[in-house]
Amino acid sequence: MLVDLKALYPKLINLMLDAVFVVDGDNRIVFVSDACEALLGYRADELTGTPITDYMHPDDLAATRASIVRVMNGQPHSDFRNRYIHKDGSIVHILWSARWSEEDGVRIGVARDVTALRQAEEKLRFLAHHDPLTGVTNRSLFDDRLDSALRAARRHQSSLALLFLDINDFKYINDTHGHAVGDRVLCTIARRLKRCVRETDTVARMGGDEFIVLLTDIQSPDAVSRKVEQIVAVLTEPLGTEFGEIKTPSCSIGVACYPANGEDADTLLSHADDDMYRQKGRRSQTG
């Protein structure tokens, strides 16, 4: 039996999970496959005859137009990503494979929804630089920011401070109430620390119940003292009814200032750590 392949082509195209677009030289949509409705929420008849640029994310228009010029100059583009606006207003991340058909005067593109992939990539990038429990900066990113802050401080002859913070008697919370409760306490502390600092500052978890705060562009030693007082006051606020009768743990904070207490990262971190343990020692003596 002979099969009319030309008659099958539209059916085959509409079976594809990826969406097929045919766009003319004026960027008007000539044809879209049925998969486009799942991709962008529009039926084929709603899109046909309209400019494809109407559905692009405005921030991606310049890069997309550059890709269009490339394709229309005879250079297929098989790995271009951009964003479109779904009919419901949400953003769709799309991976394109496109080429120009000179004989037909149209651009043929196949579009794949990679929104879930993009979200997974962003999550992996976030986890590479942030503590997975509390969401604050991890040690790796903190070290990079400290190095950058020190370079800026040397260049501008400004000051910065490190606050090394340890939660007192945190082991008691874990041992008495369980690690799940302890984790919730750490997350609460991390959120409160972030409330105390500017966007230009950094809160990092160093591991366990230890956090460190990087304060940049410090105007005076008094400013550091006031910040420590603010942090102590905020962290000692009641935990909330969801924690039952668990009392808010106190904290010990060690301070190191650049350049007074050191001019490199290791010296400053060591000084702040030592100062924190001195604070803990004074607490045990008075407690």
Note if 209 is an active site residue. yes
One of 113, 209, 273, 275 is an active-site residue; which one? 209
At residue 221, the pLDDT reads 85
Record the pTM. 0.77
Structure tokens, 171: 């082991």
Helix (H) or strand (E) holding 223, with range, is: helix 221-235
Mean pLDDT of 253-280: 94
| Domain boundaries defined on the chain | 8-119, 130-286
Contacts of 154 (CB under 8 A, 6+ apart): 263
Three-state DSSP at 161 gives strand
Given a cut of 70, is residue 1 above it in pLDDT?
no
- Write the CATH number of the domain with boundaries 130-286: 3.30.70.270
The predicted pLDDT at position 279 comes to 87
Residue 5 has pLDDT above 80, yes or no: no
Averaged pLDDT for residues 91-109: 96
pLDDT of the residue at 220: 87
Q: What is the mean pLDDT of residues 122-144?
A: 95
For the ranges 155-164, 246-255, 278-287, the lowest mean pLDDT is seen at 278-287
What average pLDDT is seen over the chain? 92
Which pLDDT score is estimated for 4?
62
List C-alpha distances in Å: 80 to 5, 122, 196, 267: 30, 18, 42, 47
For residue 287, pLDDT beyond 60: no
CATH 3.30.450.20 is held by the domain 8-119? yes
Q: 216-233, pLDDT tens digit by residue?
A: 989 888 999 999 999 999
pLDDT at residue 95 is higher than 90 = yes
Q: Is the pLDDT of residue 155 over 90?
A: yes
